[in-house]
Each structure stands twice: as structure tokens, then as C-alpha cells.
């Protein structure tokens, strides 16, 4: 799954729509996403505004600064608990399955995704993604930087656990 995600991100030419409740890209994945932005690819990540594991949310949000500064648009879904795991690349390729965007799913867990090269199906997943954005709040660099002291402290405390998430 890790290699598939890297190849899909590296091949993107227009847009990457990524929905994932556990959004913790490692250095290589982060570099691939930021390289896509530098190539002119619009990269949009939809993450949960509400989550079942605050430790994961804190670890995820800790890394938002570099991604936001690099031009990645990050949204937090507000309507309900977000558990979808999808990615659409250029409206023609998509994956949907159980893989979280974290080290645990990529290296430890047994995960299963379906990947398709099919414009109509990828288009339907992209349309759902865009509809979900209507129920999400955009995270700006300024709002991330000005998050509360409690959030920043929790991010520091979860840092040692990040490689296990």
C-alpha cells in the first residue's frame, strides 16, 4: 500500500483528493505530497474534525504546519465521525479501503484497498469528496499556528508515540 500511495502521488498532474481519519504522513510521504504541490498539483486532505482517538488527532495536527506552509489544503470534517479512507488522483485513478495514512497501516497492519483506473468511478468518489468539503472547516496556517496551549501540549506529549501510530 505504501508504494502504491507513493506512486499515485508521484504520478499526479492536476489534483489529489485524500480522505483519511488517521493522517500521519511520514517524511517520505510528506515529501511526495509537497513535491506534488511544487509540480502544480492541487493537494487537498480531508481529515476528521471529531475523532475517536484524540492521541491520533493530536499527532496528526502536529505536522499540519509544514503541509499547510507547503501549499496543501487541509480540511476537517465536522458533520460526523469521519472514517473514510480514499484517494483520487487526477479524476481517473482512485483507491478506497481500510488503509489509514499512517505508519501502522503502511508497515504493521494487514490492510485491503481496491485501486481502480476508471474515470467514471474516480469521478463519483471525487464528487463525494467535494460534497464532504461542504461540511468541513478549512485549516489555515494561521489558525493552526494559533491553536490553544492545551492542543500544543498534547501534541508534545504524543510525539514519542507517533512512530507507533
Note the pLDDT tens digit of each residue in 10-44. Answer: 999 999 999 998 898 999 999 999 999 999 999 99
Summarised one tens digit per residue, pLDDT across range 125-152 is: 999 999 999 999 999 999 888 876 766 6
Q: What is the pLDDT of residues 36-93, one digit of tens each?
A: 999 999 999 999 987 766 666 666 677 799 999 999 999 999 988 888 999 999 999 9
pTM of the model: 0.86
* Structural domain boundaries enclosing 97: 2-164
What pLDDT does residue 161 have? 59
Q: Where are the alpha helices (DSSP H) in 39-97?
A: 54-62, 64-69
Number of domains present in the structure of the chain:
1
Q: Any idea what the CATH number is for the domain that residue 93 is in?
A: 3.30.870.10
Amino acid at each position: 500500500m505504501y508504494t502504491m500511495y507513493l506512486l499515485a502521488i508521484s504520478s499526479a498532474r492536476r489534483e489529489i483528493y485524500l480522505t483519511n481519519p488517521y493522517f500521519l504522513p511520514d517524511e517520505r510521504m510528506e515529501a511526495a505530497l509537497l513535491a506534488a504541490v511544487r509540480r502544480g498539483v492541487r493537494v487537498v486532505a480531508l481529515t476528521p474534525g471529531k475523532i475517536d482517538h484524540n492521541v491520533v488527532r493530536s499527532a496528526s495536527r502536529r505536522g499540519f504546519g509544514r503541509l499547510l506552509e507547503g501549499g496543501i489544503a487541509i480540511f476537517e470534517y465536522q458533520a460526523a465521525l469521519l472514517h473514510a479512507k480514499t484517494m483520487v488522483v487526477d479524476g481517473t485513478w482512485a483507491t478506497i479501503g481500510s488503509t489509514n495514512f499512517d505508519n501502522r497501516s503502511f508497515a504493521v497492519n494487514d490492510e485491503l484497498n481496491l485501486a481502480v483506473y476508471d474515470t467514471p468511478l474516480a469521478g463519483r468518489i471525487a464528487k463525494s469528496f467535494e460534497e464532504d468539503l461542504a461540511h468541513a472547516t478549512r485549516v489555515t496556517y494561521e489558525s493552526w499556528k494559533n491553536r490553544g496551549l492545551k492542543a500544543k501540549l498534547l501534541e508534545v506529549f504524543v510525539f514519542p508515540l507517533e512512530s507507533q501510530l
